[in-house]
DNA sequence: AAGTGGTCTAGACCACGTT
DNA sequence: ACGTGGTCTAGACCACTTT
């Protein structure tokens, strides 16, 4: 006997406070999203079945399906029939600007890759660095400062100066950053980050030219990136690519181009 | 009397050919999307109401709503209660890299803007240009070639070398490109484009240094962009920004960050 | 006041992929 | 074969916005 429609709120009493402004799927989506972004549900985590989740949240399966479908479209979840729903592995920088995984970039060129760490220190942020990192009140004053070189086929490929927030990645303090470069390690350790890039052309100074084995004054591409996760700054990177060799490639479409 | 569910295909007989692989909303979404991207439904066009569209396509309102909601999320449509659904004005380069509208960029800095056209010609593509443009078989051999300068507060801001496909924008041949720069004009004329960017650092040569009023050898940021719409190449641009002054800003998040 | 999109549901069938 | 997500519907109430 199909009840003749008693309205969407039949089982949910009106909330006392007027906080109730968002829809069910918006509320549930925010909850699930937060569990993923916060790491409570790490990549690979298997979610309860759609039916169970719907029951847990007290909504119909259609509503729950809407949430999961949207998060799947957004790339946070991977859904496969019979297998169920799992948290996705973070895409490398939305596949739109592949400057995060330099090792993959170099190997994609068919070249052998290496990374060497030049310096490593735990030190306070300079005022300039603090202005760029914008640390929160409970972030420590000291940061792990690394300088390293990415190599491609024995030639310097990219100079990297990096600061890491120990509060965001405590294990970084005991990490050697040997064969695995800091960027790749961080991507595993703190997935689901947001990044702000600033890209400039600069003339190589004496020090930079020596490190990159190029002539002083040669044009270099400099990328500064601030990365945060759940509002907390994770890392601050300066990457400098020598000369005219390197180019960034980015594709954009107005649609988001899912199909 | 609510019929006890007769299945989704009750009114649609199975197609004879096994072409039927996609869902209803996927099929309808593709149709609507194509009407927008092809220009049949230009920006500002008012769509029929959700109910009518559902009837037209022979689906329930929920299914039609799903399509329209998705396209609205993707930024192709704008929906407002009571007003209806209209085709959105194309966002400036997905708001992710604001290098399309240089005028807006300059004015955003609080500076007066000007554009001056240096040369203009209708000529065949060079082999290099053709390789970059990848013209189709029915594209004309000749392209409109423009060179111009963007000015900010009386100083050169960006050198622009542009090729325009007359087949994609016929009105370009009679356009003066006076106060309005070619990029802004094209965005109006051919909305909904896809662009591939390549970004490099180069040392300014003698000619470039003279035009941009900088010292020879100074590092410049060069952006090459190929734009296409519905598979056809629309324009090919080289933009060169002088020195260390200019920086590109781009924000990325793995989620798409709709909220 | 009226009209349009926004949301929600219960139930049903379908299809894919593992078993 | 079975289980899970994928899709679809008819009907209903809600809420925003313009008239």
User: Predicted confidence band at A16 (pLDDT cuts at 50, 70, 90)?
Assistant: very low
The beta-strand segments (E) located in chain B are 77-80, 84-87, 113-124, 142-152, 155-164, 194-203, 219-229, 232-241, 248-252
Q: What is the DSSP secondary structure assignment for residue B76, as one 8-state letter? A: S
Chain C bases closer than 7 angstroms to a protein Cβ = 2-18
B42 DSSP β-pair partners: none
Q: What is the reported pLDDT for B21?
A: 56
CB pairs under 8 A between A and B: 157
Examine the pLDDT at A20 and tell me if it is beyond 50.
no
Q: What is the mean pLDDT of residues A237-244?
A: 90
Q: What is the reported pLDDT for A162?
A: 97
pLDDT tens for each residue of B128-185: 999 999 999 999 999 999 999 999 999 999 999 999 999 999 999 999 887 889 998 9
Burial status of residue A130 (CB atoms within 10 A of its CB: 0-12, 13-18, 19 or more): middle
Nearest nucleotide to B68, CA against C1' atoms: C5
Residue nearest to nucleotide D11 (CA to C1'): A5
Instruction: State both tokens at A24.
Output: 């069910």
CA–CA gap between residue A152 and residue B1 (Å, rounded): 72
Query: Would the CA dihedral through A205, A207, A210, A213 be positive or negative?
Result: negative
Gyration radius of chain A's alpha carbons: 23
pLDDT tens for each residue of B206-215: 999 999 999 9
Residue nearest to nucleotide C13 (CA to C1'): B7
The torsion angles phi and psi of A38, rounded to 5 degrees, stand at: -80, -15
Instruction: State both tokens at B89.
Output: 């004005």
CA–CA gap between residue B58 and residue B56 (Å, rounded): 5
pLDDT tens for each residue of B191-200: 888 888 888 9
Examine the pLDDT at B15 and tell me if it is beyond 80.
no
Distant-in-sequence contacts of A63-70, Cβ < 8 A, 24+ apart: A63/A24, A63/A25, A63/A28, A64/A28, A66/A25, A67/A25, A67/A28, A67/A29, A67/A32, A68/A32, A70/A25, A70/A29
User: Among A90, A195, A248, whose Cβ lies nearest the Cβ of B199?
Assistant: A248
Q: What is the reported pLDDT for A243?
A: 79
Examine the pLDDT at B14 and tell me if it is beyond 50.
no
Q: Are A254 and B221 within 8 A, CB to CB?
A: no
CA–CA gap between residue B224 and residue B171 (Å, rounded): 23
* pLDDT above 70 coverage of chain A, percent: 86
Please report, for residues A136, A190, A232, A233, B92, the alpha-carbon distance to residue A126 in angstroms, rounded to integers and kept in the order given: 15, 24, 18, 15, 36
Q: What is the pTM of this model?
A: 0.84
Q: Are B153 and B111 in contact (CB under 8 A)?
A: yes
Q: What is the mean pLDDT of residues A229-252?
A: 87
pLDDT tens for each residue of A141-164: 999 999 999 999 999 999 999 999
Q: What is the reported pLDDT for A10?
A: 38
Mean pLDDT of chain A: 85
Q: What is the mean pLDDT of residues A170-176?
A: 93
Please report, for residues B76, B147, B163, B187, the alpha-carbon distance to residue B169 in angstroms, rounded to integers and kept in the order given: 21, 17, 11, 11
Q: What is the reported pLDDT for B1?
A: 36
Q: Which residue has the tokens 């190589």?
A: A204
Q: Are A219 and B199 within 8 A, CB to CB?
A: no
User: Among B26, B196, B255, whose Cβ lies nearest the Cβ of A76?
Assistant: B255
Q: Are B174 and B123 in contact (CB under 8 A)?
A: no
Please report, for residues B88, B104, B159, the alpha-carbon distance to residue B107 in angstroms, rounded to integers and kept in the order given: 24, 5, 17
Min Cα distance B47 → chain A (Å) is: 18
Examine the pLDDT at B258 and tell me if it is beyond 60.
no
Instruction: State both tokens at A215.
Output: 């002539």
* pLDDT above 70 coverage of chain B, percent: 86
Q: What is the reported pLDDT for B196?
A: 87
Q: What is the reported pLDDT for B175?
A: 92
pLDDT tens for each residue of B86-121: 999 887 655 455 566 888 888 988 999 999 999 999
B113 DSSP β-pair partners: B152
Instruction: State both tokens at B215.
Output: 């010292």
User: Predicted confidence band at A17 (pLDDT cuts at 50, 70, 90)?
Assistant: very low
Q: What is the mean pLDDT of residues A24-46?
A: 91
């Amino acid at each position: 006997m199909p009840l003749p429609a008693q309205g969407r709120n039949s089982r949910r009493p009106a909330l006392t406070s007027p906080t109730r402004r968002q829809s069910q799927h918006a509320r549930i989506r925010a909850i699930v999203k937060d569990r993923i972004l916060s790491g409570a549900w790490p990549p690979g985590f298997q979610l309860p079945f759609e039916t169970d989740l719907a029951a847990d949240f007290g909504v119909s399966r259609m509503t729950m399906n809407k949430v999961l479908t949207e998060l799947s479209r957004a790339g946070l979840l991977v859904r496969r029939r019979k297998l169920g729903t799992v948290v996705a592995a973070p895409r490398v920088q939305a596949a739109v600007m592949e400057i995060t995984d330099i090792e993959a970039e170099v190997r994609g060129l068919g070249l052998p890759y290496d990374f060497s760490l030049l310096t490593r220190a735990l030190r306070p942020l300079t005022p300039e660095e603090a202005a760029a990192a914008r640390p929160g009140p409970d972030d420590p004053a000291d940061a792990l400062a690394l300088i390293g070189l990415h190599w491609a086929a024995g030639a310097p490929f990219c100079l990297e100066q990096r600061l890491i927030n120990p509060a965001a990645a405590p294990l970084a303090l005991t990490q050697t950053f040997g064969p695995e470069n800091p960027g790749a390690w961080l991507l595993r350790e703190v997935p689901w980050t947001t990044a702000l890039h600033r890209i400039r052309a600069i003339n190589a100074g004496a020090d930079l030219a020596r490190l990159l084995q190029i002539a002083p004054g040669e044009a270099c591409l400099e990328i500064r990136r601030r990365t945060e996760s759940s509002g907390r700054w994770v890392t601050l990177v300066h990457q400098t690519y020598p000369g005219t060799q390197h180019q960034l490639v980015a594709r954009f479409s107005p649609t988001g181009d899912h199909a």
